[in-house]
Amino acid sequence: MEMNSLLLILILFSSLVPGILILLLHERQVFMRSFLNLLGAVVKVGLVAWVFAGYYSGEEYVFIFGLAPDLTFALQVDHLGLLFAALSAVLWLVTTIYAIGYLEGGKHLRRFFAFFSLCVTASTGIALSGNVVTFFVFYEFLTLSTYPLVVHRGDDIAVEAGRTYLWYTIGGGTVLFLGVVGLFVVAGPVYFGQTEIIANLVAENELQLTILFFIMLTGLAVKAAIFPFHGWLPIAMVAPAPVSALLHAVAVVKAGAFGIVRLVYDVYGIDTSEQMNLLTPLAVFAAFTIIYGSLKALFQDDFKKVLAYSTISQLSYIALGVAITGVLSTTGAVVHLVHQGIMKITMFFAAGNVAETYGYKKISQLNGIGRRMPLTMGAFTIAAFGMIGLPPIAGFVSKWYLGLGAIEAESYWVVLVLLASSAMNAAYFLPIVYRAWFCEEGHEMVHRRRPGRFETPALLLIPVVLTGLFSLAAGVFAASANSPLSIAREIAERLYLYLP
């Protein structure tokens, strides 16, 4: 097997192998477990960086393994997949550090970290999939590997939440399966990027293709938490903070959003989707979800619940950007895949730090927390401002491109949706910021659960500071080469290269 193909397999194995090895370890082998985890994470970042550099210098990375005639397991690297793989790899590393600190001394850590690794294997697999079937395999793999993480705490609430989670995601998976099989029957094997296959079939099979599109979209919408399939997301909040962080930033919800991006851009193609008028319903649902998620978030007092509804709202920015055609909105959608991830993971880390250090889980308890945890809340503030869309933070860049894209496509109502969402984001995030920095603490002092030198254990502090800085840097240096924005712009320009 040639080197380049091997690299792709190695990227997957860098988390799969540690996952399996951890299963074989004993619960008390803490050091070995952490070591394996971190080693895997670092190796993965290194490998992705290697492939990244190679791809940009013109190398090609493809791995195809025939399962049956016409049915292949295919991995390949393109710009979009690489961007998502890089996001997964980097955030996995950060989250691993965080999880080791967060769960220190907990129970069932062997199980947790094993599935944690498998979950990332799945999400990198999704990123690197070369065709629809492979994508589906990893998509389902992800569902199953995240379930043990969601129910990690093992109490009744967690199990109940896990049940809801499975119902939704397995249901979505089944629907997606129908769509994938249907597509296979109608169009044969479809590799990502071969949009001409569908384009050539439109004339004869328009009805079938339309139905299949919406079946697959529905399947993907469950994970992407688009209304009315969003119900599992706030319930799944019972999971420990690192899991929520990963779930909301790269793994599950992002897999859905990424799937939608792939479906529209690389399976049906923009031209065909536009021509068959498939995108308007998506735009309407996405816009409604944006508003609905924000509205729900306004009425929550539970810190993590606010973040969950905010995720529902923010993810639909991606779907909305996909649903509007034009280079600018495509750029906005793709770049928001990354930006939403780094900002939201920062917020979950911050919420986790506050809960872990002082036991505060409600927003009404956060008065004056900024003075006690300045770095954590500083990072949170950056991310919150980014979510509102204030410059120079990552979220602003996404909003700028989406807004310009909407005007370019003359969908002025989309601009109104974006503005309304910004206003509501401000209305539910700014009170948190206000309480943290400008309110005096209550009279009864709650003592720290884990005393130490820093405001919170270093393993919890470093990740939140890092991702906070990422969020800032992604905005401040957006125009520089190799920023998420420049990659997203390149993806968008390639997509529209052959279009009139």
Partner 1 sequence: MIWILVIFLPLMAALFTAFNPAGKRRSGLIFIIASLPAIWLGLADGTGVTIDWLILGTHFSLDPTRRIILLLTGILWATSGLFAGSYLKDDARQGEFSFYYGAAMSGNFGLLISADAASFYTFFALMTFASYGLVIHSGTPSARKAARVYLVMAIIGELFIISALFLAVQSAGSMLLADIPPALAEAPNGSFIFLLGLIGFGVKVGAIPLYFWLPLAHPAAPAPASAVLSGAMIKAGLVGWMHFAPIGLVEWHSISLMMVGLGFAAALGAVIIGLAQVDPKTNLAYSSISQMGLMTAFLGVGLNGGIPAELLLPAIALYAFNHGTAKALLFLGTALPAKVGGAWRILMWAGLGLGVLAIAGGPLTGGLWTKYMLKTFLGKTNLPGAQFFLLLLSFSAIGTALLLSRFLHLLYRIEAPVVNKVPAFFLPWILLLIAGGWWTMSPALLSAELMSHVLGEKGIITFFWHPLTNWSALWPILITAGSLVMAFLLKLAFVNRWPGEKPLVPPGDFLYIILLAGYMVVKFLQKGISLLQSFMQSRHSAEKIFYGILDDKRTLQISTSAEALLRRWEIVGIGFFIFFLTLFFFLR
Q: Enumerate binding residues for partner 1 (CB under 8 A).
A: 23, 67-68, 71, 108, 111, 114-115, 137, 141, 144-145, 147-148, 151, 154, 159, 163, 167, 228, 231, 295-296, 299, 385, 389-392, 396-397, 399-400, 403-404, 406-408, 415, 419, 422-423, 426, 430, 438, 440, 475-481, 485
The first and second tokens of residue 176, run together, are 């997606």
Cα(444)–Cα(435) distance, integer angstroms: 16
Least separation, in Å, of the C-beta of 396 and partner 1?
Answer: 8
Name which of 91 and 308 has its Cβ closer to partner 1.
308
**In this structure, are residues 215 and 259 in contact, taking their beta carbons and an 8 Å threshold?**
no
CA dist 252 → 110, 216, 224 (Å): 21, 16, 8
CB-wise, 249 or 478, nearer to partner 1? Answer: 478
Cα 223 from Cα 173, distance rounded (Å): 9
Question: To 5 degrees, how large is the angle CA 308–CA 310–CA 315?
Answer: 100
Decide: 286 and 321 in contact? Cβ < 8 Å.
Answer: no
At its nearest, how many Å lie between partner 1 and the CB of residue 5? 18
Contact by Cβ (8 Å): 495, 330 = yes
Least distance from partner 1 to the Cβ atom of residue 406, Å: 8
Is 256 or 269 the residue whose CB approaches partner 1 more closely?
256
Read off the tokens for 405.
């894209």
The DSSP code sequence of 32-90 is: HHHHHHHHHHHHHHHHHHHHHHHHHTT---EEEEEEETTEEEEEE--HHHHHHHHHHHH
The DSSP code for 477 is T
Q: ∠ CA(102), CA(169), CA(283), 5° rounding?
A: 105
| Residue 68 burial (C-beta neighbours within 10 Å; 0-12, 13-18, 19+) | exposed
Nearest distance in Å: CB 14, partner 1:
18
CB of residue 392 to partner 1, shortest distance in Å = 5
Nearest to 179 by CA among 205, 206, 216: 216
Q: How far is the CB of 346 from partner 1 (least distance, A)?
A: 18
Pairing of strands 62-68, 71-76: antiparallel
We find the least distance from the C-beta atom of residue 268 to partner 1, in angstroms, to be 25
Residue number, 91 or 474, with CB nearest to partner 1: 474
Closest to partner 1 by CB, 46 or 228: 228
User: Any bridge partners for residue 129, and if so which?
Assistant: 75
With respect to partner 1, which residue has the nearer C-beta, 25 or 144? 144
Query: Closer to partner 1 at the Cβ: 113 or 348?
Result: 113
Smallest gap, in angstroms, from Cβ of residue 207 to partner 1? 26
Q: Which is nearer to partner 1, 46 or 154 (CB)?
A: 154
Shortest reach from residue 281's CB to partner 1, in Å: 17
Query: Toward partner 1, which CB reaches closer, 279 or 397?
Result: 397
